[in-house]
Structure 1
């Protein structure tokens, strides 16, 4: 591509990415100019401003975009799929920043400025992943997110748990990256291109030309690598230690934003590149061989995540294994691939975002007050703060998939898709593991309402944290009452033509 071609593009559709990049750069320079004793909270508030502005630009793209727009030989593209995931990322990082502004007052993180603009660079990596249509830009976005996350986990320098968590995260992430790159090398070797849309046709030719085993092997290696980012089996063992060692807002970020970015990568990389595979018998390989791999990963994640969570008394480790199980649930629509596959995935991710950030906001306050991360820290919470206890109950019900919560309909839609596609054994595992999860999720309710705490003093909740808890609880309840409103909104604005959010439509 020549220099003159760069100026021929309408770059306005990439303003969300440019905004985050600009704010991250400017804030890093501002930090250098500020004195050592200056209040770094201004960096956090400016970061939040940048996220809000980027959100406005994504909304404008959503309104003005009639067809996908591609850049640099389709290496980057702006489409409905990317816009939907970008809004999830931006909402998640905005919540993380609000929680972080309160968390910083505890004094556990000395490098506050670095913390804020590392969140922005991680966000930028997620957004690049959502807009990529090429292996190169996908990997750049993945590594930008990963490297930023590695540092964020270890910023509590005086904590041995944080140091251990950061080390394990780096080692596990490096191994996962090796698997991902190995699988990508096969994808490139079999197709002769790094563009995902060209790869769709060429991988099908390679499969039908006698290289079926290598095509499936590339899929398996890439999936194993990506399973690290979504904390699914077999790359899930890092999650408990990292969740426990990281600062609570960082844990929330990893649980929601990083996981959602991983699923954006699964969609872009696996679905786009492999959806064109047709066997000589005329049957879709994606719905047979590849579906078997995905259903196996989903089933194992649900089983191992929920059963291991039963043994945990540390709440963060319990939430980590819960996240493994949730990854298994979200993989169900990938295995079934119904016409509403995109809506089901986005709906569940939104429900999971609401419950997760609300729950971690409550955890942050309770842990600080009780000076322990054990489940017993919730004892007697209802008597100390009835509203917070009721909100936490809503979040727990949403995780468990109990009616009158967003999480119930998220799981219901996934369960019905499994039944419609005759994946009866997968639907049975969903039901069985959901019942198992009730035991450890209801442990919160048992502690809050049926156990007496060490004190009856009212729980002090910072204003910003209270706002997050309130918004998340009301949204979880509202979507649980009228789920069709969100489902119809996603379908109308992000997937009106049942084309995976215009993922399969060529860019202009």
Structure 2
């Protein structure tokens, strides 16, 4: 590629990624020359400023038309903009948690945490804009490798070491499975560009290889479900959530999970939307039973196993697994509201989960324990913590007047709104939601109706701001969900997601 070709690309569309890359590089250089005993908190604020800058760049791009560069491997469209906002917002809140996280055995690694976090964010953002198997996989690995290291940052903590080891091993296996499935897709179509793959899926010759297409889908989908901690590749989540520092746990439960759904939507929907099935015209219709069983198993395993957990971080790990099952339901119904439902639920999940982890960080730091008993008598000790935590738990449980209820209701109606309606999947969703009330309400009962000894809880100003922001957002989205949905419909045209599937002219887009 010559210099004239490079200069012809519209590099401004990658402004958010360049900002994150530049700040991450700057952080690594500054950290290298800082004295060992110096506080690394200024690095957190610099990282936060970089994320805010990238977020501002995304908002400035909202009116930008669909643009692709680098021969349609990078693509700025409504889909990428919508999900990058979630990724950046989640990372910004996690950075505030990280700046206030105090633990002696992590102080020496705190500097590298910030640029690892931004590196993981950069990988997730690249996935959101990728239109090629290669860049998609590179973004996935950048996110994964940074996450593996962050999970084991507490080097003197055996649980942290164990969680990082399990994460690396299970992640490596999932990566191999994903790459194996992608190799079949490339072998069958001869392309790595997602839109060209979709175009080639309509080739009559592929009708002879329906079984191989089905195999490629199942293998790739199974590998990608690791990132969202869906069954059966969910067993890493409880150990990693328990052993990792709380800000890392919050990042994995929100930002990494959002990135997992981004790659599922980007790769699975674009690539296989026109793929022929074995006995019908659509492969996506034929694999519905498989995705349905996966979603149901994830909901059941996550909620039922959470009932027996006494460790609050492990309980939230299984809760996160169950939430992944709920968000998989729209993949079964394949309604026209697929993107809106998933985007809104992930937005609601971002606020309620990071808000809950903010309180968990404060209490575990003070009580030096992860047991649910740290919540005993919290309402009497610190009502300003107990009340927001109640809202977050009610939202996770899907109780009315919360953002979680609106998200779950949309997904539930989406499962019933199309023909044929998926009644039994909706029934599983309803039954498992009722099961979740037991462990969510148990924490509420411990806060309000159990006597506990302990001093009042002091909340740093940064965490108090995150807590207030998440609590208010959770309630507002529950009462006025139109605020988020109007923003979505007013700024994002998801039809762009399917543009050029039938015909891709890379030269036109590149220039």
* TM-score of the alignment, normalized to the shorter chain, above 0.5: yes
2:474 to 476, 479, 482: 476
Q: Deviations over 1:261-287 (max 9, x none)?
A: 00000011100000012458764321x
Taking the aligned partners of 2:224 and 2:186, their CA distance within structure 1 comes to 17
The equivalent of 1:199 in structure 2 is 197
Taking the aligned partners of 1:161 and 1:319, their CA distance within structure 2 comes to 17
CA contact (8 A) 1:341 1:500 kept: no
Q: Deviations over 1:112-164 (max 9, x none)?
A: 11011000000000000000000000000000000000000001011000000
> Superposition pairs for residues 99-498 of structure 1, below 5 Å?
99-104=97-102, 108-205=106-203, 208-279=206-277, 283-286=281-284, 288-421=285-418, 422-455=421-454, 457-495=455-493, 498=495
Moved more, 330-339 or 203-212: 203-212
Which structure 2 residue ranges, 5 or more long, are not aligned? none
Query: Stretches of 4+ moved more than 4 A in 1?
Result: 279-282, 497-507
Cα–Cα, structure 1 residues 488 and 282, in superposed 2: closer, same or farther, change >3 Å? farther
**DSSP 3-state at the match of 1:114:** helix
CA contact (8 A) 1:81 1:502 kept: no
Cα–Cα, structure 1 residues 383 and 177, in superposed 2: closer, same or farther, change >3 Å? same
How far the C-alpha of 1:484 sits from its partner, in A, is 2.0
**DSSP 3-state at the match of 1:7:** helix
Taking the aligned partners of 1:151 and 1:501, their CA distance within structure 2 comes to 36
CA contact (8 A) 1:122 1:146 kept: yes
Task: Report the RMSD for the aligned CA atoms in angstroms.
Answer: 1.7
**DSSP 3-state at the match of 2:282:** coil
CA contact (8 A) 2:55 2:85 kept: yes
How far the C-alpha of 1:311 sits from its partner, in A, is 1.0
Moved more, 265-274 or 292-301: 292-301
Taking the aligned partners of 1:232 and 1:281, their CA distance within structure 2 comes to 28
Note if 1:54 corresponds to 2:54. yes
CA contact (8 A) 1:79 1:503 kept: no
CA contact (8 A) 1:227 1:235 kept: yes
**DSSP 3-state at the match of 1:232:** coil
Q: How many pairs are equivalent?
A: 503
**DSSP 3-state at the match of 1:331:** helix
How far the C-alpha of 1:489 sits from its partner, in A, is 1.7
The equivalent of 1:35 in structure 2 is 35
Which structure 1 residue ranges, 5 or more long, are not aligned? none
**DSSP 3-state at the match of 2:230:** coil
How far the C-alpha of 1:499 sits from its partner, in A, is 5.2
Taking the aligned partners of 2:482 and 2:391, their CA distance within structure 1 comes to 19
The equivalent of 1:11 in structure 2 is 11
Cα–Cα, structure 1 residues 153 and 282, in superposed 2: closer, same or farther, change >3 Å? closer
The equivalent of 1:21 in structure 2 is 21
Moved more, 368-377 or 157-166: 368-377
CA contact (8 A) 2:246 2:357 kept: yes
